Every structure is written in structure tokens, then in C-alpha cells.
Structure 1
Amino acid sequence: MWVLPLVGYVGLGLGFCFLTLAIASGLYYLSELVEEHTVIAKKLLTRLIFIVMGVQILLCFVDGFPFTLSMLSIVSHVVYLGNMRKFPIVKLSDPLFVSSCVLVLINHWVWFKHFSSSDFSSPRNRYDYSNLPTFTEIASYFGLCVWLVPFSLFVSLSAGDNVLPTMGSEAPGMGDGGDGKNKRQGMIKVLVDTILGWIGEVSKMAGWGGSRSERGFSSL
């Protein structure tokens, strides 16, 4: 067969594009919700951080998770909590924000290495070779205890129109002249609009137009 595999590759590519577009649209909508309900979002995120920290403590003392890795995760969430002091405004050069980005990568690596290891025979571990964590349990742990809070912060934090791709002002939303036209925007919205703007510029250079791409998701 020659045609059917080609159809399969085309379908896979289109499916990936539609999935990416759907995720971007959903994140864009969530970012707008946070902009409209900042106080509620801050309360929910703060409680979420404390809940995840409590789950980490339970996993450490009840299920025998490594104490060092659990403490690393707890300290990481304390750092994430520091980003709430000026919520939802964030400066990309803020040491807390930079540290949060680094800690996300470190936590992912150390926990992935832990679950990839076959050495679960530590006396502190309550599970043995006959009761290893399933893929669903591991994926749920990563989703809820490693990625959920950083991802929620990334969606919720706001940046000024001039923050991405350049940082020309001290604080987001400054210099709008009081007319409200240059209000702060969610990082997701700025990122998506910036990427679409770049795509529009490349399309223009290639002679494909690109006026629609420059509009971003403003109609949402």
C-alpha cells in the first residue's frame, strides 16, 4: 500500500495541528478568565499550592516517598508561592520567577529518574516489586504534584504588552496614558500573539500574506 500510509501521515499532521490550536485557544480563554477574576484566581492558586504541599507530606510519611525529593518538591512550591506576592504581575527577570522555571525542570528530572529506577527496595518505601506504581499513578503524580502549580501560574501570571519579546519598561501596563488601551495581558495571550505575529511576518516574507495571522486570537 502506498496511498493509505500517506493519508495516515497527513491525518496525523492535521490532527496534531488541530490539537495544538485547541490547546492554545483553551489557554487563551483561561488567561482571559484570570484577568477578569484576579482575586478568586489568587485564592485558588494559593490554596492549590498548600494542598499539593500537604499531598507531598502524606506521600513521604505514608507511602514512603524519598524524603530528600519530597523536601525538594515542598521547597519548590514555597518558591512558587513567592510569585503570588505581586500576582498577577510578573517580571521575567524576577529571581523568584527564574528560580521557579529552573525548579520545574529539576523536579521533573529528579522524579522521572526516581520512577525510572528499579531500586524500590529501600526500607522507607512501602511498595515492593510486587506493588510498583502503575503508569496511571505515576502520570497522575506528575500532573498534580509536579506540573499543575507551575502550569497554572504560567497561565495566570500577566505581562505587559511590551514584555514579550522585549522588556522596555519597568512594570507591565505602564505608559498607557490612562486610557486603558495598554493594559496588562496574560503571558499565554502575549506568547500566542507573539508567535502568530512571527508567523505572519514569515508568511509575508514568503509572499503568503499573513494578515489574518497577525490578528491572533483577538476575536475570542
Structure 2
Amino acid sequence: MQVLRELARVSWVVGAVFVVFSVACGLYVVSEWVEEYPRQTRRLIRYAVWTVDVLLVLALLDGLSVWRIALTVGANHVYALNLTRFPLVHLSSATFVGSCVLAVSTHFMWFAYFVQNLRYPFDEVCSFMFFGVWLVPLALFVSLTPADSSLPSSSAQSAAVGSTTKSRQNIFKTMLTHLRGAEQQRLPQQLHND
């Protein structure tokens, strides 16, 4: 019995690692698609805002808090303000900072609500949190490109040719590129020390 219990724990850990890796790969693929098709992405996010608004209004039929739903609908439209200069974003702009604050505050607001009201099953709470609270901010996070001059990274091809032009990449892809570059710099040093 003890062996099966430990095997089950290891299975949960391996499963969690697999899920995290799959989500990271999925986000990378989505960020590539967003970079290729920015107009379609803007349109898709705008439709997502309105669809989530309709779902939130329908959630009133289940007895959810009216003021929390109104605040979440308002937050969705603040997120939509980021679409005016899409896919570029100034990380210090009031709209972007306000969107970040609203994303965190709506998450904790709904989390506290569902902790106090335990009548809703776990799967319903998870689907509401994903579709009603996280969908639009996550879509914007994956698709926004920083407009600050220090954040766009040079593509590998332009660096090899010696060109000084920079290609714009979205936030998620820029982070992965920097992490990959830091890992490649550490690897030769480790091989040299061995």
C-alpha cells in the first residue's frame, strides 16, 4: 500500500510537470501565430471581450454578485483600451498599468467570493475564473509587443549579417529568447570548466 501511495505522488508530480510544459509550448505557438497575424488577433481579442461580457451577464442568472460582475465587465473594457495601439504597448502607460492592477484585483476579488460561497462546485469555479476573469488578460499578455526601445530584441539572422535593424517580438517570445541566450552563454563556460 505504501509503494502505491508513493507511486501516485510521483505520478502527480510528473503529470503537473507535463501540464506546465504543455502550457508553455502552447503559449509559444500562440505567440508565434499572434506575431504573424496581428490584425486577426486584435479582432479576435475584441470579440473575446464582448463574448466574455455576455457570459458574465448570463452568470447573473446563477446568482453571482452584481457589483463584482459589473467591475469585471468594466475591467474587460479597460483591457480593450490596450487594443488602440495593438500589438505595441508602452509598459509605463496608465492603460497598461491599470490593466495589470485590474487583472490582479479581479482575480483576488472573485477568489475571495468563491471561498466565501462554497455552494459552487470546483469545476464551475475553475471555468468561470478561466473564461470570465483570465481569458482576456491572458490573450493580451501573450499578444502584446513592448514598444520601449530596450525591449525589442534583435533577430538571430540580422545579428549574423551585421545589420542593426531590430525586429519586434511579443513579450512572451522576448522572455524566452533572453532565457535561451543566457543558458547558451552558461553552457560553454561549464564545458570549459570541466
Task: Report the TM-score when normalising by structure 2.
Answer: 0.79
Q: 1:159-210 deviations in whole A, cap 9, x for unaligned?
A: 36xx5xxx538xx58xx9xx795221111101112223333445455x157x
* Cα pair distance change 1:144/1:2, threshold 3 Å: closer
* Cα pair distance change 1:14/1:182, threshold 3 Å: farther
Structure 2 residue 150 is matched with structure 1 residue 168: yes
Runs of 5+ consecutive residues of structure 1 not aligned to the other structure: 120-131, 210-220
Using the TM superposition, give the Cα deviation of residue 15 of structure 1 relative to its aligned residue in structure 2, in angstroms: 5.1
**Structure 2 CA distance, aligned partners of 1:186 and 1:208?**
32
Higher percent of residues as helix: 2
Listed as ranges, the matches of 1:63-78 within 5 Å are 63-78=62-77
State the partner residue of 1:197.
Answer: 181
Q: 2:132 aligns with which of 142, 145, 156?
A: 145
Return the structure number with greater relative CO, CA threshold 8 A, min gap 6: 2
Using the TM superposition, give the Cα deviation of residue 22 of structure 1 relative to its aligned residue in structure 2, in angstroms: 3.0
Residue identity opposite 2:129 in structure 1: F
Task: Report the TM-score when normalising by structure 1.
Answer: 0.70
State the partner residue of 1:214.
Answer: none
* Cα pair distance change 1:114/1:6, threshold 3 Å: closer
Indicate if the aligned counterparts of 1:159 and 1:190 stay in contact, CA closer than 8 A: no
Q: 2:170 aligns with which of 168, 182, 186?
A: 186
Question: Partner of 1:47: helix, strand, or coil?
Answer: helix
Runs of 5+ consecutive residues of structure 2 not aligned to the other structure: none
Over the aligned positions, Cα root-mean-square deviation in angstroms equals 3.2
Using the TM superposition, give the Cα deviation of residue 18 of structure 1 relative to its aligned residue in structure 2, in angstroms: 4.5
**Structure 1 CA distance, aligned partners of 2:76 and 2:24?**
26
**Structure 2 CA distance, aligned partners of 1:100 and 1:56?**
18
State the partner residue of 2:121.
Answer: 134
State the partner residue of 1:27.
Answer: 27
